[in-house]
Structure 1
Amino acid sequence: MKNLFLLVVLCLFSAALCAQNPPLTRFTLQGRAVDTASAPLASSTVMLLSAKDSSLVNFTRTNDTGTFSFKNIKAGNYVLKISFVGFIPYNQVIKPTGDAVVDLGELKMKPITRELMEVVVRTAKAPLTIKGDTIEYNASSFKVPPGSTVEDLLRKLPGVQVDQDGNIRAQGQEVKKVTVDGKSFFGDDPKLATKNIQAEAITKVQVFNDKTEQAKLTGIDDGKKEKTVNLELKEEFKKGGFGKVTAGAGPASNNVSTRYEGKGSYNKFNSKRQFSALLLGNNSNQQGLSFNDYQDFRGSNSFNWNDNADFGFSGYTQYISFGDDNESLTIPISGGNGRGFSRNMAGGLNYNYDTKTTKLSTSYYFNQTRLQLDALRNNKRYLPGSTVLSTTDTSNQANLNTNHRVSLRFEKQLDSLQTLIVISNGRFGFSSSDLQSTQRVFQNVAATNEVPTTLSRTLNNSSANQFNMANTLLYRLKFKKKGRSFGASATYQINKNDGDLLLKARNEFFQATNVNDMLRVLNQDQGTNSLSNQYKANLLYAEPFAKKFFWETFYNFNLRYDEVDRDVANLDDSRRQIDSLSLYYKNNYLFNRLGSSIRYSFKGLNISAGLAGQQFQLDGKFARDQTQPLQSIRRTYTTVIPNIGLNYSMKNNRSLGAGYNVGVQIPSSRDLQPVSTNTNPLYITQGNPDLLPQLNHNINLSFNYFNPGSFITFWSNIYGTYYVNQIVYSQTYDPQTLIQTTMPENLTGGRNLGTYLYFGFPLKKTKATLNLNTQLNFGHNLTRINKILNETNNENYTVGARLELTPKDWFTFYGNANVSVGNTRYSINTTQNQTIYNNSFRGDLNLKLPGSIYLNTSLNYSVYKNEKLGFNQQIPILNSSLYHILGKAKKAEIRLSAYDLLNRNVVVSQYAGQNYTNTERIQSLARYFLLSFTYNMRGVQDKMRRDGY
């Protein structure tokens, strides 16, 4: 409570500091922007700047008559700046007159001519410019401390919000991508760019609505927009070399002799070539390539937003899933979760070559993580009637994960209409794990005392080698007729995984009546070799007809070949094979899809309707061993998939969207194979060869409003899904041993309905902003427990608020609160209905002290509560750092950091599922201190280049 009280005090102090403006007099400033003929210039951008340092004090837009007004202005000297596309920016000095209302009358703006272009260039640097739906910020007008990142800069910008996890919202919408100089510099995660690029490297920040990539390919506006942020680099950073080196160490903590962190990166760019290098090592839980590190060495061409080669309905993979969780070829980002104790190494190289007709990007990177995980987990499973099974699991796990990755992307523009792209990604990895686990199971019937039923001690030693590669050839052709286009792609992908598990388990069943069931000892060697080859081909043709209609047709082909050999041997019986657990199978998956859609687009209204027929064929063969006769599993699934969409961009920055589509999930090969696995001897899984595909009927409705003059934003979204033949995992329990056996089956009737609302508005422009949000979600989930249908209803309510205070350059405060309540109701055991609370409160305070000293402090207070389980965990995490900028050039920094000052860090989670609840506590890195030194290598200066250096 003391820490929560401290957070409240900080909020009140900050609000008071922002609100304290004890002026002797205040006045209203108004005027009217017109052209030389006195015609009104509606929607002109009007800014009020401080005459002292040109910082932005207030801003607005003119109405239809060109009129603007600033009310309740503190008496002082200001500069009024008005900008309008095609006109020379207007500037006027404003001084106090003592009048309550200062009316400037008509303010005439001159159109730009060739003779006046130089004047425009000299005067065009306004802090903020609004052009249609694009807002452009002049980065130098928003002050941040030396060494700040783009993320810190974005927090200063009106209309932009960045939460503590780095997620960005602009004009009420989530930012989907961040580009640098118009290029997709760091892939598809905005945080990869914003968390590491230095703010001092940026000259402008542009926020706008970008078209989807399929719309760019076909030239057809599909009405869908992606909120995008573009970062424009300063010239000295575009063509020079820049980077950062950090080294830090601290005293012993958590049984580690010395705490350390080291990281270095270097980038050198010119108009054609880009080179980046990265190296890091630490034992402070910054695992592998974190978001900050990964983006450092990915160059501007390593990922292109048009690389989606699966055409049709914006990519068919959104509407069909094979159900398998094969190793992804995308970059895994594992940093930031803070679980357990880890030691990490990583490094990488990237080289790019970029001209108008040729683009090449290559990279190699390596990362290794050693993770120690000590966990305490509690699980309650609710059976029909009033029976509850409680499991306590205490585990110790040591993991090693090593990966090598290589990527290549080559793009060649054959001519003005044709483009050829080659993409190749490869990965080789090794992992090993040693797990010791002790599980105790208790049975509770009709609220009686818990009776111990099972004691299981398990020792698992596993290792695996993985190799993955994907190669894609992509061809695009745009015809001279606008809107007519053709695309073709071919892909080959291979996934290979060879793993081995040594399983030793001793299981005691206290309630067993058969002497043979009282004790079961396992000593097994489980080896699995798998190979998957996949071949894909896609075609797309788009044709405009009439004036407002467009026709698109597409074809998708996919052939996948899987071969899996799973051998389980009993080590206590001369490695005798256990047939019930062994399996050899080969699967051929053949997928064909043909579809078309018609689109209407006119004056902001965009309506599309499409239909696709798809057929999925499975030809599978399996046996307990390769030497035995193979049995067959053949399935053919044919489905018709509709797709309807509506997008309407209305006047005054309002938009409406709606859609309906059907997604298909094909059963995974593991779910179809009739084989049991016993990696955890108390939880057996078994396949079901009679599974049908799962259909997801999805609807959504959204509305967005943004006022560029007041920066008031409102965003709402309603979504829902209804499941037909949903693949769920039903459970049966052995009456003697209470061993759980899980098998997938199809059930119809599950559903999910939710809504999200967001409302943001400035309390005081450029000084204080309040953002409110709420999310509601209602789920109805089905599963069978001992052949009895259980219906689980989940109701989740979340309310959040965020206060951003930036009253002075030397002071910023960001506070947010999120309260989440989840109600779970079980049909088979209503006595176990429960309510779960997951609440978090956070405050971040940044102060500039005299002598170029800066203080950063954050308090994160989390509350996890479940009265039914008697679970109540409160975790305050207090971090603080004090750093000093060194030298006249401000290139160096020395920092003292303290993490978890209260020594309370533990990773906690709780969750309620279909017939169970889980709570988890993981011991993690707690209080430690670091003293670090950072040196920033900045871009080559213009003067140096002119002198020939």
Structure 2
Amino acid sequence: MKYFFLLAGFWLLATGLFAQSPTQPGRFSIQGRVVDTTKAPLPGSSVLLLEPSDSSLVNFTRSGENGAFQFKNIKRKAYLLKITYVGTLPYGQTITPPENNLLDLGAIPLKPISKELFEVVIRTAKAPLSIRGDTIEYNATTFKVPPGSTVEDLLRRLPGVQVDANGNIKAQGQDVKRLTVDGKTFFGSDPKMATKNLQAEAISKVQVFNDQSEKSKLTGVDDGSKQKTMNLELKDEFKKGGFGKVTASGGSAVPAPGAAKGARGEVKANYNKFDAKRQLSLIGLVNNTNQQGMSWDDYQDFRGSNAFNWNDDADFGFSGGFRYWSGEDEDNLGIPIGGDRGRGFSNNAAIGANYNYDTKKNKFSSSYYYSQTRQQLEAKRWQQNFFDGGFLQNDEQSNQINFTGAHRVTLRYERQIDSLQTLVFVNNSRLGVGNSSLSSLTNVLENGINPTSRIIVNNGNRVNSFGTANTLLYRHKFKKKGRSFAASATYQLNTSDGSADLTSDNQFFQSTTVNAFLRQIRQRQLSLTQRSQYKANLQYIEPISKRIFWENFYNFSLRYDELDRDSYNQQESAMTRNDTLSRYYKNNYLYNRLGTGLRYSYKGLNLSVGGAYQQFALDGRYASDESVVPLNRIQRTFSTFVPNVSLNYDLKNNRFLFSSYSMGVQVPSSRDLQPVIDISNPLYISEGNPDLLPALSHNVNVGYNMFNPGSFVNIYGNVYYSYNINQIVYGRNIDPTTGITRTRPENITGGQNAGAYIGGGFPLKKTKATLNMSLSGNLGRSLTPINNVLYQTHNRSISFGPRLELTPGDKLTFYANADWNIGHTRYDLMASQNQRIINNTYGATVTGKLSHEFYLTSNLNYSIYRNPTFGFDQRIPIWNASVYKIMGKSKKAEVRLSAYDMLNRNLGISQNASLNFVSGERVQTLARYFLLSFTYNMRGVSTGNIKQRWF
């Protein structure tokens, strides 16, 4: 709690320093009214106070309904007043402090822009920011950042924009889901690919707005969905030549307990070349400092997943409805794959290229990306499994080495056939390879005292995978407004070829009845998986009136899954097939959904009510081997009516209300339906259940978002609830004498989850200090059968997080944040094992400009992990700092000395309480090291009148 009071005191002090009282000495106020030439008020005009010397932003506001504006308690000095309004000439006036405390400017008329002056006005009206409706446009050149800074550094200086430690962006209190460069896609859908690799000095403007969904744009019918979008406009000189950045670093870790020994280094580079029609970007890196890739998920590559680019969703109809069970993962082969950023020790390399070509008729985008990671995880884990009469504690030490490498190619071509017809083709393909080795020692103790089992495991696996998804999408808008037709066809293919060697020696001290096969495992598994899917979708929208639209859709999917897994017992002289653990299955999934609904859309109110009838048919065959005749058969048909209701209301003035009710359907995975035993881990033996039913979930969601572009105050909140019917849970049967847990999926009804969150932010002093806060809570009830007894677990958690941003000038920035998280887990049949888990984090980052182009930056994160029930209390402070100098007349070079984890305390910690167990993990992680780096910025390589050559 001492940190809470410290932060609260700091908050009050900052509020006192930056608050604006009405009668402060040495200050004055400004007021006035913005009108047009007929004296009519111009509400929503952008009114800015600037420094006369460099036009940097001091304060800003918007005019009210009557055109009035006011600045209170500003310092008594000269300012430049600038006013902008769409369709009028910008107004500028030098402000001199009056003799009294109030300067009343009266009515300020803005003149309309003539066509002849329009281009000149646009080129000269460079205000720090302008506000037009729900769009905010920042003039990036007026927000100063050190030379060589990235777009991410620039965004941290913009009022109303937040960037967290992981690079995620919030604007006006909402997550930024889309980011474009000059209106074009940049490396798919991840905004961080642009913000971390593009240079701040290349950006002319940053635009933030609420964009319509792609469906609304193409059909002409507003569906009420809005996504916070950011667009980066490049400066003209960066469109005419190339620009980029190269950094090379080298150093070593200090030989201290827990520190990584040996040399450390990084090399990373990016190069960009843009013009009005084309974009070319190259990126690359290599390091052994745990910087894995550039926000790509290597684990997903290893598994063989694929996804569409945003705005290319070809599955028409409302969301919810149908999906495959998330447990689908046939190529895991029993060995967990790591990949969390920053854990363990990793060597990484990546290279990528992105090319876009954009004209009115044709839009083509493509990218190639290769990444590889070799990661070593040395971990200590513990888990307590509760059951009626006691608990078993598992203490594990493990060493795991993972390698993943993947090539990924994306292609997208859009053809505007005419003003009414659009054709889109999308391809996403991935070729991956991976291997893992795992060595572990696990001791199982009854009630934490008496040894019951000792398990020594040495496993290894190798996987080659390929995946591709191809979609052809056709949309047609009719001349009658609101009438549209769309059709799509998709083909997906995933293949995986893998092998696994399973070796374990298992001692069971208190039992003599364990099968001899489980006491010593020597196995080899060979697996070949192929999964193909064909999808077709139709959609037709008919306007009944100007406000009411009738929407109809049809979804078809045919999927083939085939797995051939052969298990062999390895003996001294030969390998013999194990029919019990081998399996072959071939499943055909047929899915049809026919839906309809009515949508009312008028003046910001958007109401949709609809439903769909869907049928899912499974025809499966399985046996221990493909040659077995006849194969066992699973034939199931599930029919469900799925309702859907959504209400979105644009309350104007940047206020939005949204709510929805939907029912989701999750179909059991192939693995869970197969009655086949898996003993990859001798302590956790799993078996499928062919009698599983689809899981249903009723979901309700209500939310509100508000943003005042004049004061930059934002408030957001959300309440949600879900209820599960036939939820798929994994029942457990725990043997107290051996610690062996046998799991089998079952259907359970009654699981619930409810929660709410609220947050907001406001400037303590505009452009100088901002405070953001968030509060969330969650209540959940889960059910699981353990040793034939149905256990209920109740979870509740609460989180609170303030963040203070101080940007008093271009020479100093300071960010401080705190996150307090408290979770309670209550067991209805084992009250003595109730848990209270506390995870608190405190952070601060400061950057300052020194003399002679020297800069200093420092970051401190202090994490606390506590579980009083088990006496667990871990506190980890991580302190990083660097000093760097900008060199050269053109300031293109930088030399930097960086220190990471100066206190040598970095350690991967996690803890979790769920169902009938509580667990924790500590992973040895890269600790204190130092790097000396050199960076060179290639910028503004102008080509003049030389003809641009791209290839």
Q: Into which bin does the TM-score normalised by the smaller protein fall?
A: over 0.9
Q: CA deviation at 1:850?
A: 0.7
- Is contact 1:7-1:842 (8 Å) kept? no
Q: CA deviation at 1:408?
A: 2.2
TM-superposed deviation, 1:120:
2.5
State the TM-score, normalizing by the size of structure 2: 0.94
Checking the alignment, whether the CA contact within 8 Å between 1:186 and 1:303 is kept in structure 2 is no
| Cα deviations by residue, 1:384-430 (Å, 9 ceiling, x for unpaired) | 2x311110110001112122222322222222222222222222221
Deviation, 1:306, is 2.7
Superposed, 1:279-358 pairs within 5 Å as: 279-290=284-295, 305-313=310-318, 321=325, 323-325=327-329, 337-358=341-362
Deviation at 1:750, TM superposition (A): 0.3
What secondary structure is seen at the aligned counterpart in 2 of 1:864? strand
Counterpart Cα distance in 2 of 1:25 and 1:715: 37
1:500 aligns with 2:505: no
For the 8 Å contact 2:240–2:942, the answer to whether it is kept is: no
Deviation at 1:494, TM superposition (A): 1.3
Taking a change above 3 Å as real, the CA distance of residues 304 and 464 of structure 1, as seen in their structure-2 partners, is: closer
Per-residue CA distance 1:822-870 (angstroms, 9 max, x = gap): 0000122111001000110100101011111111100000000001111
Change (3 A) 1:231 1:275: closer
Q: Relative to 1, partners in 2 of residues 1:622 and 1:63: Cα closer, same or farther, differing over 3 Å?
A: same
1:719 aligns with 2:720: yes
CA contact (8 A) 1:191 1:291 kept: no
SS in structure 2 opposite 1:938? strand
The answer to whether the 8 A contact 1:90-1:109 is kept is yes
Local SS of the residue matching 2:291: coil
Residues 401/948 of structure 1: CA separation in 2 closer, same or farther (3 Å cut): closer
Distance 1:50 1:592 in 2: 64
Q: What is the deviation of 1:191?
A: 2.0
In 2, the alpha carbon distance for the partners of 1:93 and 1:895 equals: 42
Equivalent position amino acid for 1:438 in 2:
L
Aligned residue number for residue 610 of structure 1:
610
Q: Distance in 2 between matches of 1:63 and 1:764?
A: 20
CA 1:595–1:897 in 2, change beyond 3 Å: closer, same or farther?
same
- C-alpha distance in 1 between matches for 2:894 and 2:817: 29
Contact 2:351–2:370 (Cα < 8 Å) also in 1: yes
Conserved 8 A contact 2:19-2:764? no
Aligned residue for 1:117, secondary structure, equals helix
| Match of residue 627 from structure 1 | 627
SS at match of 2:767: coil
Give the Cα–Cα distance (whole angstroms) in 1 for the partners of residues 914 and 338 of structure 2.
25
Letter in 1 for 2:578: I
What's the % identity of the aligned pairs?
57
Residue pairs, 1:402-551, within 5 angstroms: 402-444=405-447, 450-514=449-513, 520-551=519-550
User: Which amino acid in the other structure matches residue 614 of structure 2?
Assistant: Q
Cα distance in 1 between the residues matched to 2:912 and 2:401: 25
Paired position in structure 1 for 2:803: 802
Greater Cα shift, 736-745 or 606-615: 736-745
- Paired residue total: 932
Q: Which residue of 2 aligns with 1:598?
A: 598
1:498 and 1:140 map into 2 onto residues whose CA distance is: 53
Q: 1:222 to 1:34 in 2, by over 3 A?
A: same
**Structure 2 counterparts to residues 168-187 of structure 1, below 5 A:** 168-187=169-188
Question: CA distance change for structure 1 residues 722 and 162 in 2, over 3 Å: closer, same or farther?
Answer: same
Task: Tell whether the 8 Å contact from 2:331 to 2:496 is kept in structure 1 after alignment.
Answer: no
1:572-607 Cα distance to aligned partner (Å, 9 max, x none): 273222222111111001111111111001111110
CA distance in structure 1 between the partners assigned to 2:343 and 2:484 by the alignment: 49
User: How far off its partner does 1:566 sit?
Assistant: 1.4
Would the aligned equivalents of 1:285 and 1:343 in 2 still touch at CA under 8 Å? yes
Give the direction of change, closer, same or farther, for the CA distance of 1:938–1:690 in structure 2 (3 Å limit): same
Q: Which moved more, 1:191-200 or 1:595-604?
A: 191-200
5+ residue gaps, structure 2, are 300-306
Match for 1:192: what amino acid? Answer: M
SS at match of 2:580: coil
Q: Report Cα offsets for 1:80-137 as digits up to 9, x if no partner.
A: 1111112111111111222111111111221222354356235421111111111111
Report the more deviating stretch, 916-925 or 485-494.
485-494
Query: Following the alignment from structure 1 to structure 2, what is the Cα–Cα distance between the partners of residues 84 and 865?
Result: 54
CA contact (8 A) 2:133 2:653 kept: no
**Counterpart Cα distance in 2 of 1:77 and 1:229:** 34
The reply to whether residue 788 of structure 1 matches residue 792 of structure 2 is no
Give the aligned residue type for 1:585. Y
Amino acid of the residue matched to residue 164 of structure 2? D
**Does the 8 Å contact 1:529/1:565 carry over to 2?**
yes
Bigger shift: 113-122 or 148-157? 113-122
Which sits farther off after the overlay, 568-577 or 498-507?
Answer: 568-577
What is residue 302 of structure 2 aligned with on the other side? none
Please identify, of 140-149 and 182-191, the stretch whose mean Cα deviation from structure 2 is larger: 182-191
Alignment root-mean-square deviation, CA: 2.8
- Mean Cα deviation higher: 608-617 or 106-115: 106-115
> Whole-Å Cα distance in 2 between the matches of residues 495 and 713 of structure 1?
44
Question: Which of 359, 378, 382 lines up with 1:378 in the alignment?
Answer: 382
Distance 1:707 1:264 in 2: 39
Q: Aligned ranges for residues 582-731 of structure 1 at < 5 Å?
A: 582-629=582-629, 630-731=631-732
Query: Which is worse superposed, 830-839 or 90-99?
Result: 90-99
Question: How far off its partner does 1:15 sit?
Answer: 7.9
The residue number in structure 2 matching 1:737 is 738
* Counterpart position of 1:96: 97
Indicate conservation of the 8 Å contact 1:841/1:861, yes or no.
Answer: yes
CA pair 828-321 structure 1, distance change in 2 beyond 3 A = same
1:236-284 CA deviation, whole Å, 9 max, x = no partner? 2223211111111002454543111011222223333333323321111
Distance 1:258 1:323, change over 3 A: closer
Confirm or deny: 8 A CA contact 1:184 1:303 kept in the other structure.
no
CA separation in 2, counterparts of 1:323 and 1:535?
21
On the 8 A contact 2:605/2:648 being kept in 1, the answer is: yes
Q: Distance in 2 between matches of 1:274 and 1:366?
A: 20
For residues 417-460 of structure 1, what are the alpha-carbon distances to aligned partners after superposition, in whole Å with 9 as ceiling and x for unaligned? 2222222222222111111100011111xxxx621111110110
Distance of aligned partners of 1:737 and 1:286 in 2 relative to their CA distance in 1, 3 Å threshold = same
SS in 2 for 1:158: coil
Which residue pairs with 2:303 in the alignment? none
Alpha-carbon deviations, 1:495-554, whole Å to 9, x = none? 111111111111111111448669811111122211111111111111112121111111
After superposition, the C-alpha distances for 1:33-52 in whole angstroms (9 at most, x for unaligned) are 12222222222111111222
Q: Secondary structure at the match of 1:685?
A: strand
Tell me which residue corresponds to 1:200. 201
Residues in 2 aligned to 1:351 and 1:652: alpha-carbon distance in whole angstroms = 38
Deviations 1:457-484 (A, max 9, x none): 0110211111112222222222222221
Counterpart of 1:552 in structure 2 is 551
Secondary structure of 2:870 counterpart: coil
2 CA distance for matches of 1:175 and 1:519? 51
Q: 1:114 and 1:192 mapped to 2: Cα distance?
A: 39
